[in-house]
A and B are shown apart, each in its own frame.
Chain A
Amino acid sequence: MSTLTEAAVESAVRELTYAEAIREALAIAMEADERVFLFGEDVGVYGGAFGVSGDLVHRFGPDRVIDTPISELGIAGAAVGAAITGMRPVLEIQFSDFVTLAMEQIVNQAAKIRFMFGGKAKVPMVVRLPGGSGTGAAAQHSQSLEAWFAHVPGLKVIQPSTPHDAKGMLLAAIDDPNPVLIFEHKLLYKTKGHVPEGDYRVPIGKAAVRREGRDLTIVGSSIMAVRAVAAAEKLAQEGIDAEVIDLRSLRPIDFDTIAASVRKTHRLLVVYEGVKTMGIGAEISAMIAESDVFDFLDAPIIRLGGAEVPLPYNPVLEKAAVPQEENILEAARRLARGEA
């Protein structure tokens, strides 16, 4: 085999931000398939509230990168209608919180149409949802509502944590014949990472083991996976060898990967930004408790979730309301010591 060409080296190390990776996925999908279009509030010349759509309107024109009125219920319905009639809409909900105005169309229509119609329709739509706290945007602009949607059969819910996965999972989502909700953490948009050129897919429903370890398992997705990896590196210096699983998809959830890890480590910490009670941690814990993996546990499972409070504005309180790296470290130490 010959040595790598310069271009290949370039592409092997090419770094993009999470936002750029999403934009690149959108451009690839729109170039490849005329049915794909992006629409939402201020996705055109403004470039999207978080700059994700950027210059796409100049590349694909205002008929494929469409500014809409501020009508979340209406635009979610429009996505459903376009999807069931042969288009591949990608809808941006400006802040994931505003999806509350669009619940009817996503939950009662998009998720159920195929089933209700006896399998005679497809709803291939993608909803992009910038979410999460950490920007001082307060209670109505900072939530993590992904678990709500993971409760609805008919929807797929994904939460990539890296630029690589953001691109590959979005491309997989656009190709998927079902409604897919992609929750993009606002704090991740500017993070950088290696992103291959061209079209590639990261499958929906497969978790990734980000770090192998023997002593305990930390499960998280989106920014919590990033924080868990950082925490695991510090734990390693203290002699605690943590395995980190990046969930990536909430529905379908990759229980096999979690189960295999817990069989090995015997200890589980679940970290998620959404409010702790009735959340992702409860589901994963219950899945463990209901399965043979339960017998492998050497300590009670720890759930580290958001505080039982609307997200506060004050930055100190805001940080205190969602798991930070320090909290993961502290919980992992307790778990390693066998304290509940």
Chain B
Amino acid sequence: MKADTDTTAQRPNQRPELAAIDDETMRGVLRKMHLIRKFEEAAEASYMRGLIHGTMHLSIGQEASAVGSTLPLKAEDYILSTHRGHGHCIAKGADPARMFAEFFGKENGYCKGRGGSMHIADVEGGNLGANGIVGGGLPIAVGVGMSIKAQKLDRVAVVFFGDGASNEGAFHEALNMASIWKLPILFVCENNKYGMSMDVSRAMAVPNVADRAVAYAMPGIIVDGNDLPAVAAVAREAAERARSGGGPTLIECKTYRLRGHSKSDRNLYRTKEEIEEWRNRCPIRRLEAELVAHGRFTPEELMTIEEAAQAEIDAALEFAKASPDPDPKDLTRDVYAD
């Protein structure tokens, strides 16, 4: 990502977080946000049509936190993701075609059809995996941080987790260790207000997940998780601190999941009005409106980006459908390394 002062200076009327992202980078940002949204819409449609068995967790409405938090990352940096991980995966640069193939349980999916939506990993691309266990990635991130430090690599790890995960013991143990050892980790909490049906205000004794950083002597930063430039700015600063030996940061992106928790959610714990209110804060439309208002992109240019993303997703879906199923004779392959 280019964030040089020259380009920033050329955009004096824009807030610094927005001005810091040049047009070329912004194109990539928009493309990824659309890819995430459309990937999940297509996943949902496939599910509804009975083409998918198993479950899935959609992050529709949370695209800015996934793309913003990973914007300062380099290819060799790591992420650890969650059950709601399609967005993180695409944000880190995964190929939607191989993601769909995994979703369809196909042999050429990222995990050869053995993992499915909840376990997509792209180890070569630095994505150390989604996780079916709430909070499961947090202690793993500590080990990744130790490894980066031991090998003296110029890398950071971003570990995503939900507000609900911050109630697991694993969260507290991980933050403490990351802090005492000054590990290069960004703990990115996507606080979407609910852990399944449990409202954060009923599940936590403090109002913000970020408040918990105090106990572990690391910065705890709250950011509007539906504001991409704001998330990216916070993540950039945290990544710089991590790279320069300053240790971990806890970032809390306040956001909202517009879909149910999973396929079986009847939304009994929240109101239509609340969902509607957040729909109006769509992170994609909001960013687009700001870009148009500042004359950085025309509506036509934005449409072209969106259509290209749709075409990419359509092709990815076709690729997955046409892909081969695993062969049952390989059932016990890959349980142990040779």
Interface set of A (CB-CB < 8 Å, partner B): 41-42, 44-47, 49, 51, 67-74, 97-98, 101, 135-141, 307-310, 312-317, 320-321
Contact = CB atoms under 8 A, between A and B. Distances in A.
Contacts, number: 130
Interface stretch (B35-43, B140-148, B165-173): B165-173
Given A313-B113, A314-B105, A317-B113, A49 B264 contact: yes
A315 B104 CA distance: 10
22 contacts: A45-B268, A46-B196, A46-B265, A46-B268, A49-B196, A49-B264, A67-B197, A68-B198, A69-B198, A69-B204, A98-B133, A101-B169, A138-B114, A140-B136, A308-B335, A312-B326, A313-B54, A313-B105, A313-B111, A313-B113, A313-B114, A313-B115
A37 B303 CA distance: 55
B328 interface: yes
A316 B264 contact: no
Given A47-B268, A320-B331, A42 B133 contact: no
B204 A138 contact: no
A314 B113 contact: yes
Contacts of B325: 314, 316
Contacts of B268: 45-47
Contact of B114 (A72, A317, A320): A317
Given A140-B118, A140-B119, A321-B331, A46 B269 contact: yes
Contacts of B165: 70
Interface residues of B, number: 42
Contact of B116 (A44, A67, A136, A316): A136
Nearest 6 A/B pairs, CB to CB: A136-B54, A313-B116, A140-B132, A314-B105, A136-B53, A46-B197
Nearest to A62: B202
B326 A67 contact: no
Given A138-B116, A309-B332, A314-B114, 11 more contacts: A68-B198, A73-B169, A101-B133, A101-B170, A136-B55, A137-B132, A138-B132, A140-B132, A312-B113, A316-B328, A317-B105
A67 B168 contact: no
A243 to B, nearest CB: 31
B226 to A, nearest CB: 23
B222 interface: no
Contacts of A68: 198
Given A70-B164, A141-B132, A317 B115 contact: no
A274 B202 CA distance: 37
Given A316-B326, A317-B113, A69 B331 contact: no
Contacts of B136: 140
Interface in B301-338: 325-326, 328, 331-332, 335
Contacts of B265: 46
Contacts of A315: 53, 105
B203 interface: yes
A88 B115 CA distance: 38
Contacts of B132: 97, 137-141
A137 B167 contact: no
Interface in B68-116: 105-106, 111, 113-116
B258 interface: no
A129 to B, nearest CB: 15
A320 B165 CA distance: 33
Interface in B173-230: 195-198, 202-204
Contact of A309 (B105, B134, B135, B335): B335
Contacts of B168: 70-73, 101
B134 A139 contact: no
A328 to B, nearest CB: 18
A326 to B, nearest CB: 13
Contacts of B55: 135-137
A308 B115 CA distance: 16
A223 to B, nearest CB: 17
A263 B261 CA distance: 52
Contact of A45 (B106, B169, B197): B197
Contacts of B202: 67
Contact of B326 (A47, A49, A51, A314): A314
A97 B52 CA distance: 22
Nearest to A138: B116
Most buried by B among A47, A98, A136, A320: A136
Contacts of B119: 138-140, 313
A44 B202 CA distance: 12
B137 to A, nearest CB: 12
A98 B196 CA distance: 15
A41 B167 CA distance: 12
Contacts of B134: 70, 98
A70 B135 contact: yes
Contacts of A74: 167, 169
A307 B119 CA distance: 20
A49 B268 CA distance: 13
Contacts of B116: 136, 138, 313-314
Given A140-B133, A313-B105, A71 B169 contact: yes
Contacts of B115: 138-139, 313
B146 to A, nearest CB: 22
Contacts of A135: 53-55
B197 A310 contact: no
Contacts of A101: 133, 168-170
Nearest to A135: B54
Contact of B331 (A73, A98, A136, A309): A309
B160 to A, nearest CB: 15
B197 A312 contact: no
Interface string B44-69: 00000000111100000000000000
